[in-house]
Structure 1
């Protein structure tokens, strides 16, 4: 496929601290690094540390109005899980986020999220199942959880054991970039 160098897409990242570069300078975060790799496209980081799926849903209409994204990448739910919110509430919020994105003409990508194993196998399975169910229901790409290999490597994590450090950010960018590029090819 021959790419049109003049073509520019708008990509909105709706996420939590994992995408908001929590604890490190914003320009070292994976979203800023992705922007460096895809300079012809506009990447809007609509991520907020501590954000839940309900908070993301509340903020999304204004973000869609201001950004009019071609692609909406949803990286939410981690804080819902850490707070023990019900998988049903998570599914309801993510469903509305996906529907809102699609109604505004965006190609929606969903990032799988997982909760720590100490939350119990049943909750973990129900929580993670929400992402797989929605990916199937809406026939949208499900990006595998990008923290799986990072979270087990203490050299890539901040002291809190929850957030990736600056060293981990290029790895996250490397993980996300093919998914974004594939989405860009679909809408070009």
Structure 2
């Protein structure tokens, strides 16, 4: 009997470790948390140098403590994002997904219900993949009418409430109405605005980083 104990103990330990691994969710190869940014031109550094965009500034602020994957595409809609996300989740195993979509849905006057359904699909897919979600809200110009704007912006709040998500109500807070911080098209922020955008995102993102193993001091480099 004594001769068989080491083998039994080994098999028990192996099974215990396997159970832990299956329940722990995906972990990046080097142990750093992975952030996946799903956005449109506001996160794709449209009209400015790529390294001046707020996502690149975020990567610089994290100073190698986390991996940032920017999957943002100029012109992207919530429908396009929902179609692309499953493959990206499988490819990158993110710990945190930042959803910055909806601006192009609103500018095209697409139904808010369709926008909400697409965003819900992305939230659910991210959660099922073991990732936390941060919603980055967008507003649209007032000429679209109060009713449509309220229905559109209300999507972010409803999703945040339904799924208990962290939410940045308006990504361009303090930027959108300042002509000096917006490009000539009146839609895209300048390079000078990008640090302000990151500072708007940071208070909601920092707690998620801490939950994934970074202290605030580490995350700030």
TM-score for the superposition, normalised by structure 1: 0.94
Q: Distance in 2 between matches of 1:148 and 1:85?
A: 23
Pick the aligned partner of 1:110 from 128, 135, 153. Answer: 135
Displacement of 1:186 in angstroms is: 2.0
Displacement of 1:73 in angstroms is: 0.5
Displacement of 1:7 in angstroms is: 5.3
Pick the aligned partner of 2:52 from 28, 36, 48. Answer: 28
Displacement of 1:83 in angstroms is: 0.2
Displacement of 1:178 in angstroms is: 2.3
Pick the aligned partner of 2:86 from 55, 58, 61. Answer: 61
Q: Which runs of 4+ in 1 moved over 4 A?
A: none
Shifted more, 117-126 versus 6-15: the winner is 6-15
Partner of 1:3: none
Q: Distance in 1 between matches of 2:176 and 2:155?
A: 21
Identify unmatched segments of 5+ residues in structure 1.
Answer: 1-5
Retained in 1: the 8 A contact 2:167–2:204? Answer: no
- Could you give the per-residue CA deviations for residues 1-36 of structure 1, whole angstroms, max 9, x where no partner exists? xxxxx8521000000000000011110100000000
- 1:24-173, aligned counterparts within 5 Å? 24-39=48-63, 40-173=65-198
Q: Distance in 1 between matches of 2:136 and 2:172?
A: 11
Q: Secondary structure at the match of 1:14?
A: strand
- Could you give the per-residue CA deviations for residues 48-72 of structure 1, whole angstroms, max 9, x where no partner exists? 0000000000110111111110000
Q: Secondary structure at the match of 1:81?
A: helix
Q: Distance in 1 between matches of 2:85 and 2:125?
A: 8
Q: Distance in 1 between matches of 2:34 and 2:48?
A: 25
Identify unmatched segments of 5+ residues in structure 2.
Answer: 1-29, 214-221
Q: Distance in 2 between matches of 1:149 and 1:50?
A: 23
Displacement of 1:142 in angstroms is: 1.1
- Could you give the per-residue CA deviations for residues 99-138 of structure 1, whole angstroms, max 9, x where no partner exists? 0000000001111121111100000011111111110000
The size of the alignment, in residue pairs, is 183
